[in-house]
Structure 1
């Protein structure tokens, strides 16, 4: 099957790539049955593509599908970026993505949300569906990831939703817009993006947030790789940080507050969690418990030590 990598709409924007336009082949990964779909023309050699995928040399994101699940990977089968259940494409399948929505316990009705990193668009879709009063901006560096938006049923741009192809670090440095919520899920081929600590990214993130704003960040990998990030966030946010463990995925989530004097009202949060659970179907009461535990255990401080 051939692919038109960029189908322009009437306004010249990239409309994405449909799943039926992708090059399809059986999974070349040992012990991982399924289907792989790639942004490649029909004349490409399946054997060559298989060899590049297995070796980790394939340079583009690709789609993997098995047992009713569709995932996006970056270059190697080790780096899964998102997962979607085909029968429920707007649900949050991975535990850490569900946990990232716990920012709603601190601000149940944000007016502006910025997401750094698109992946398969799980969080973008969920926010678009469940936060009708919010404008949502997604920053994604890789145009090939954006080109796969239709394969994961990411909605088209409209008056309150847009995907911007660009460097999130540079975008925040320009400080062109403010956000009540900043969702950070930025990884490179080595794990958590090292450029975040070697730039002024965390200062810019702090400045981007509104007065009562919150940044939620996905943390994964070896402690030696992420401790410097946590330490920097604590410094910039004046230790106004709470960490939450997501044991199902082996991740941690950091919640950093623009107002460092912000003190969560844990008793009142139970009512908020119950209302959010009924509205969105996620286990917000459990998120509240994990956040309170992380706060009392000073988990963020221990992660940076």
Structure 2
């Protein structure tokens, strides 16, 4: 189903003493604004919302977690550390990917970055929440064209009947409660593995409660095999998991280091540092 961006939103003054700017909400103009802000403050508001302080625009599902962030003067940069570490998948590829499937759009940080950084790639993004899609223009997400398309649909249903064989599947699929039920099954990861190209890989953001993260990591390892790589994200509890369709794949770290040097340091992405962290993560896993 094609994505739509026609839902209206309202702007309210930020209720937080440390924040200037506005809260943007997907509500009609005659809504009770104070009641809406009270719902946000008490964590019971059930739609995504945006806080814009004039410097950055941040998408929230609840005030506990920033789902996505965009600096207004540099809208195509990757502001959140976990998104930068997810781009480390490039270290494992001999050639830039020609087909990327993203599960979860959010504020579109990864979609925008890949669209600019990988001009030869066909990119499909599946997002289940129409309210997230309604903020598409607020986050400068490109319009659909011949190589970029945002699809309104369920990630699990899409990969179960995936019409393409992506070289990379990027999973960053969450709702306000954490992992949706549809992606919290071993069969989902089996479908992801089956959808990948022969030498493809999945990179997944595991966030939220530790019990949930560990359960998803166990499902990934059951499907993809033990040689998955886990890269912690400091300060926020996220873990980035790299899983390879070929169970016999073994990273050649000398080659990866050379590739990291060739990729260089782009903005706030430091591929050399990420390669070093990944090598250390594998060494720790092997010694465990």
2:121 maps to 134
Displacement of 1:260: 1.1
Q: TM-score, normalising length from structure 2? A: 0.93
Equivalent of 2:5, from 10, 16, 20? 16
Displacement of 1:233: 0.6
Q: 1:220/1:279 Cα in 2 relative to 1: closer, same or farther (>3 Å)? A: closer
- Say whether the 8 Å CA contact 1:240–1:259 is kept in structure 2: no
Matches within 5 A, 1:233-272: 233-272=220-259
C-alpha separation between the residues in 2 aligned to 1:279 and 1:189?
32
Comparing 38-47 with 203-212, which one deviates more in the overlay?
A: 38-47
Deviations 1:9-42 (CA, angstroms, capped at 9, x unpaired): xxx9656259xx6311111246444310112222
1:105 maps to 91
Deviations 1:138-160 (CA, angstroms, capped at 9, x unpaired): 00001111111100000000000
Deviations 1:26-66 (CA, angstroms, capped at 9, x unpaired): 11246444310112222222212111211222221111112
Gap runs ≥5 in structure 2: none
- Answering whether residue 180 of structure 2 is matched by residue 193 of structure 1, we say yes
Displacement of 1:80: 1.8
Deviations 1:183-241 (CA, angstroms, capped at 9, x unpaired): 00112333233432336100000001111101000012332222111111111002231
Displacement of 1:115: 0.5
Displacement of 1:248: 4.2
C-alpha separation between the residues in 2 aligned to 1:193 and 1:97?
20
Comparing 234-243 with 94-103, which one deviates more in the overlay?
A: 234-243
2:264 maps to 277
Aligned positions, number: 287
Q: CA RMSD in A?
A: 2.1
SS at match of 1:285: helix
2:31 maps to 44
C-alpha separation between the residues in 1 aligned to 2:245 and 2:198?
6
Gap runs ≥5 in structure 1: 1-11
Q: TM-score, normalising length from structure 1? A: 0.88
